[in-house]
Amino acid sequence: MKNRLSKILASNGVASRRKCEELIFGGKVTVNGEVILKPQHMVDISKDNISVDGNKIQKVEGKVYYILNKPRGFVCSHDKERFKNIVIDLFPTKYRLFTVGRLDKDTTGLVLVTNDGHLSHKVIHPSSEVQKEYLVKTNLDILPEQLEKISQGVSIDRCFVKPQKVVKVRKNTLKITLKEGKKHEVRKLVEQTGQQVQELQRIRIGNLRLGNLEIGHYKEVSLQDLDPIFE
Ligand code: URA
């Protein structure tokens, strides 16, 4: 997309708009090898070669946010030497993306993927109180006392965690809402009752729902979709 040269320079981190105009008037800026003296000259940073004092301007990467329906068997890691199926490999490579928190290899469902480190910290940190909701299928029917035990919480790494909400939706299916994300938290909550987790799927993070996003597919979302607190 074409835009004014001064605006492109400023929005890609060269200097303030006024300073960029001075650079242009001073003959410091070239577009495709030609000195341009007009700030309103139209350019496309993806196509034109723009330099200031001989240094090529690189496009500043915008922040992107995706939700993915993670397939079973994929890991939330960058370690390509250790793992064959990596979540990030499901995405276009032009961004330096990472997952916000982790799901276990066998867990499916909603993963937030971004290049925004600031947001990642906010979502993961327990103080943010961003809810994560999971659908859990167990091997046996869930008894009332087991439901009660899960609701009471469990100790993980000497830290006691208690779910915000536990709802039985079918004989062997629960919905569990957490606000922190301790390693294997849902599995530990459920398995302390003697039940085995057969399927675990994350269905919501904040206001973002998995909905009918197909397994292995992703879509771009905005910060506002995630939670109004991140606007
Ligand atoms: N809790 C778990 O036990 N596993 C996950 O993948 C996520 C939450």
For 163-216, what is each residue's pLDDT tens digit? 999 999 999 999 999 988 889 999 999 999 999 999 999 999 988 999 999 999
Residue 153 CB-density burial (10 A; 0-12 exposed, 13-18 middle, 19+ buried): middle
Provide the phi-psi class of 27: left if phi over 0, else alpha when psi is between -120 and 50, else beta. Answer: left
Question: What band does 5 get if pLDDT is binned at 50, 70 and 90?
Answer: very high
- pLDDT at position 231 is 45
Residue 13, pLDDT above cutoff 70: no
Q: Is 104 a catalytic residue?
A: yes
- How do residues 67-103 score in pLDDT, each as one tens digit? 999 999 999 988 888 999 999 999 977 667 889 989 9
- DSSP conformational letter for 62: P
Model confidence at 227, in pLDDT bands (50, 70, 90)?
low
Residue 133's contacts (CB-CB under 8 Å, 6 or more residues apart) are 175, 176, 177, 178, 202, 203, 204, 205
- In contact, 104 and 200? CB cutoff 8 Å: yes
- Percent over 90 (pLDDT), the chain: 65
Residue nearest (by alpha carbon) to ligand 1 atom 3 = 184
Report, as an integer, the average pLDDT of 18-25. 92
Gap between the Cα atoms of 194 and 171, Å rounded? 16
> Which 3 state secondary structure label does DSSP give 60?
coil
Structure tokens at 49: 């070669």
Q: What structural domains and CATH numbers belong to the chain? A: 3-56 (3.10.290.10), 65-126+209-226 (3.30.70.580), 131-205 (3.30.70.1560)
Mean pLDDT for 140-147 is 98
Distance 224 CA to ligand 1 centre (A): 25
What's the rounded mean pLDDT across residues 10-34?
88
d(CA 1, ligand 1 centre) in Å:
42
Residue of 127, 174, 120, 109 lying closest to 147 (CA atoms): 174
| Predicted local confidence at residue 119, as pLDDT | 75
The residues with which 198 forms a beta bridge, in sequence order, are none
For residue 119, what are the contacts with CB-CB under 8 A and spacing of at least 6? 63, 65, 100, 223, 226, 230
- Confidence bin at 140 (pLDDT 50/70/90): very high
- Name the residue with higher pLDDT: 207 or 123: 207
76 vs 16 pLDDT, higher one:
76
Say how many Å lie between the CA of residue 104 and the centre of ligand 1: 6
Q: Which of 44, 48, 53, 104 is catalytic?
A: 104
Confidence of residue 137 (pLDDT cuts 50, 70, 90): very high
Which of the listed residues 76, 156, 187, 205 should we mutate to test ligand 1's pocket, taking the one with most ligand atoms within 8 A of CB?
Answer: 187
Contact 205, 119 (CB under 8 A): no
Mutate to test the pocket of ligand 1, among 178, 186, 195, 196 (most ligand atoms within 8 A of CB): 186
What is the atom index within ligand 1 of the atom nearest the CA of 178? 8
Mean pLDDT of the chain, nearest integer: 90
What the block records as the tokens of 9 is 């320079």
Residue 74 — φ and ψ, nearest 5°?
Answer: -100, 145
